[in-house]
Amino acid sequence: MPVWALVAAMVGHGWGFHTMISDLPKYMGSVLKFSIENNGYLSSLPYLCMWLGSIVTSWIADWLIVNDHMSTTNVRKLGNSIASVGPALFIIGASYAGCDRVLVVLMIALGMTTMGAALPSMKVNGLDLSPNYAGSLMALTNGIGALTGIATPYIVGVLTPNQTLSEWRLVFWIICAVFLATNLVFVIWADGEVQYWNDPDFLRKEKSDRRAKKAKEDVELLNVNAAK
């Protein structure tokens, strides 16, 4: 379950991130009526905030773990909750800010800042679960999460044919729902400890244990038959 919890978190983060990275300029241009030049500058601001947020939250996460204030599992869950609930709330707030440019940009920037907490949480969780197979695990989970980059632009296009604020509000509510649902899965089933299958020999040991158990059962059966 920890792996599937990680997949869920990757999907949730990917959904929100890819929607913002592919459609935020469209929203700023069509709804907020920013010029092309201002649109370029302001569309890059949330990602600068996300970068800064990832640096700060990474330092805090390490401090909590190294000083034994929280377990690795709880730090990962806390970080992912910040990276999911934070953007969900701020994005919804932005959708109800109307055409107040300053407030909308501020809300989106704050939402992306909190999304930076994904890096010291679910983005490194694969290394927690399996140091030996972290690369393969990251490729699998991140690859599944990246598929949202194909789905979200199409869905946004279908939902916003007229580029109105009410249409975009629905898009933001969907992002909110995906963030909250996938974070709930992560909080319930995620783990920050090394899993048993991290041992390269676990399959061989498992097979050996099964053989030993079967041999013991056979001996017991022979003893029962002999007693009869």
CB atoms within 10 A of CB 102: 8
Confidence band of 200 (pLDDT split at 50, 70, 90) = confident
pLDDT at 6: 92
Q: What is the mean pLDDT of residues 169-173?
A: 90
What digits encode the pLDDT tens for the residues 8-22? 999 999 998 888 878
* Long-range contacts, stretch 169-173, CB < 8 angstroms, 24+ apart: 169/95, 169/96, 171/19, 171/23, 172/91, 172/92, 172/94, 172/95, 173/92, 173/95
CB atoms < 10 A from the CB of 105, how many? 19
Residues 6+ apart with CB under 8 A from 45: 105, 109
- By CB neighbour count within 10 A (0-12 exposed, 13-18 middle, 19+ buried), where does 121 fall? buried
Render pLDDT for 77-120 as a digit per residue (tens, 0 to 9).
999 999 999 999 998 998 888 777 788 888 888 999 999 999 99
Q: Give the distance between the most distant pair of CA atoms in the chain.
A: 93
Produce one character per residue of 144-159: b if its CB has 16 or more CB atoms within 10 Å, e if not. ebeebeeebbeebeee
Query: Residue 222 — very low, low, confident or very high, per pLDDT cuts 50/70/90?
Result: low
Average pLDDT over residues 120-147: 89
What is the CA angle 55-59-63, rounded to 5?
170
What's 198's DSSP letter? G
pLDDT at 42 over 80: no
Q: What does the mean pLDDT of the chain come to?
A: 84
How far apart, in whole angstroms, are the C-alpha atoms of residue 215 and residue 176?
Answer: 55
Q: For residue 197, what pLDDT is reported?
A: 77
Confidence of residue 206 (pLDDT cuts 50, 70, 90): low
pTM of the model: 0.80
Q: Kindly state the tokens that stand for 89.
A: 């709330």
